[in-house]
Amino acid sequence: MRIVVTGLGAVTPLGVGAERSWAQLLAGRSGVRRLPAELAPDVPAQVAGLVPGAEEPGGFSPDMAAPPKDQKKMDRFIQLALAAADEAVAQAGWRPESLEDQAATATVIASGIGGFRPSPCRRSSPIWRRGGFRSGTASRGRSARPSPLARRESKRSATRRG
């Protein structure tokens, strides 16, 4: 099997875009800051790397990732991943048109943790029924299964750019 990295995308606490994030790092900036009190009042650590919102320079808007109708169905961390995957695929100049090309396309997506707000899907999960992320059960299971998000992004970018 041959793997080729052809594009890079990033949505980070330093801003949207791999180039912007890298420039911010080189300038010695940090994306770590105190959390707004209303964001996660029950979380003991009140300092975190928070992705800037659309109102801030280089910030993220959910419109970068999905139409408003689809935004309602996904957690913010999924929107962030889709925006980063879009950037990587665009940077690569890859436009998979055939089903075979789409099947051979992958995006590697990483997230330190999912969203904090319990979505309807998450509320029904065994982790949340056992006490959520504070119970220690949320971080135990890691999976190496193919990502449905990566498959969706491959098909979505083919449709969007095709």
Per-domain residue ranges for the chain? 11-161
What pLDDT, on a 0 to 100 scale, did the predictor assign at position 144?
39
Instruction: Specify the 3-state DSSP secondary structure of 49.
Output: strand
Q: What percent of the chain has pLDDT over 70?
A: 68
**Averaged confidence pLDDT in the chain:** 77
pLDDT, tens digit (0-9, with 9 covering 90-100), for 8-43: 999 999 999 999 999 999 999 999 999 888 887 888
CA distances from 82 to 26, 67, 112, 145 (A): 25, 12, 15, 18
Residue 56 pLDDT more than 80? Answer: yes
